[in-house]
Amino acid sequence: MSSLSGKKAVVIGAGMGGLAAAKALSGHFDRVTVLERDTLSSDAAPRPGTPQARHLHALLAGGLIALNELIPGIETELEQAGAVRIATGDVRMERPASIRIRNAISV
């Protein structure tokens, strides 16, 4: 059985998942390259290739636990960058009455 260790790894996409994958791989490879089609800014700004970037995003508890293990201190950094803690009971979604949601699966 071969190990995952090696000289080079490539990750496609510099979103949260891609960057977390690159961090996880960094302990096993000499070099990790992240490919991203958009130019990355030092500011927290939406990229042209991510039309969903302006939508509401949430990080669930399991994801936060995993990220804290992978990147110690990220929870504090997220809060300092403006992330807000909420209880799931605090979330209320509203949509225009004209939007009808159909069930993809009938029971």
Q: For 43-82, what is each residue's pLDDT tens digit? A: 877 888 888 888 878 888 899 999 999 999 999 999 998 8
Q: How far is CA 81 from each of CA 12, 59, 78, 95, 96, rounded to the nearest angstrom?
A: 25, 14, 5, 28, 31
For the chain, the residue count is: 107
Q: What confidence score (pLDDT) does residue 76 get?
A: 94
- Report angle CA 99, 104, 107 to the nearest 5 degrees: 120
Q: Per-residue pLDDT for 38 more than 80?
A: yes
